[in-house]
Structure 1
Amino acid sequence: MTASTLLYFLGVSMALTIAPGPDNIFVMAQGITRGRKQAIVTALGMCSGVSVHTTAAAFGISALFYSSVLAFNIVKYAGAAYLLYLACMTMKERSSVRLAADDDRPLSALFKRGFIMNVLNPKVALFFLAFLPQFVSPAAGSVPLQMLLLGLIFMLQAVVIFCVIGYFSGGIGGYLLARPRIARSFDWLTAGVFASLGIRLALAER
């Protein structure tokens, strides 16, 4: 693969990652309600899910979601149910805005949450199935290896961008902690983000 192709792919990937979307909103909400460290760990979990979708696309597994309505719907509704479950748990826990040092939630649980959210979104699988082949050239060698390389580049740039979003949104959370009345309203914000993402995924079409 040529350097110009890789640079062009990197530029397009960064533009897609920076563009406002559910993932950005979720990482930002985590930073505001949980803190910088928690947002960054969640973002790392979400970005790690890219490796699953890239591997699936590289070896043709994602085509199953494109060809089978049943497979697509099973994964879609599983992901939507998980997001709605997180919304309910957020309201049950209450007081979601706190100092990062005071948040006793295991970081591994946050990483797992981000990972599962990404993997259980069939729209992401279809995105990589449609997006990566546009930058692959059979003349450049093994197509699966090229797609894996592109997926790695996409994942690394997403890690950087999402971590930056998490870091700066975490600063907003620290500001809100000094204002408890405003901070309490973020329980509803966090639950609303989860619920809206779940509904959006449930209504998604291939």
Structure 2
Amino acid sequence: MLQTSELLFYGIKIVARLSVLSRLAVVARDPGTQDTVAGASVGTLRLARQEFLVAAGNPKAILIFTAFLPQFVDPARAITPQFALLGALFLMLEWIAIGAYAYMGLHMRRWFAQPRGKRLFNRCCAGLLSAAASVLLMARRT
């Protein structure tokens, strides 16, 4: 049956992998405390530069500026100020998102410092992987 249906083969392969991953996440031993890596502190300016380089190379930003934003530009008016305003709004929203990620990371670090938090995270990931495997198993090709 698997030789005749490539789709069935890939489906079983994907479901099996997700099931194994979810099982491993459930039975993962208590990670305990992690050793902290001592290193030189990095300055804020260097981190900002690194973030800019990562964001500048992000295809999402390129797509937004080339495909999404032009829809909101009025061709009857000056284009440069409109793009400047839209770009500034985009950068402001990006800054807010990065700040939110940093804030969540700070609190998640405290949460993961406890073995109970790590265990709960592993179980949640296992549940999500099991749910993904179940959805893939139940999905029908149209």
More helix per residue: 1
Higher relative contact order (CA 8 A, sep 6+): 2
Query: What TM-score comes out, normalization by structure 1 length?
Result: 0.34
Query: What TM-score comes out, normalization by structure 2 length?
Result: 0.47
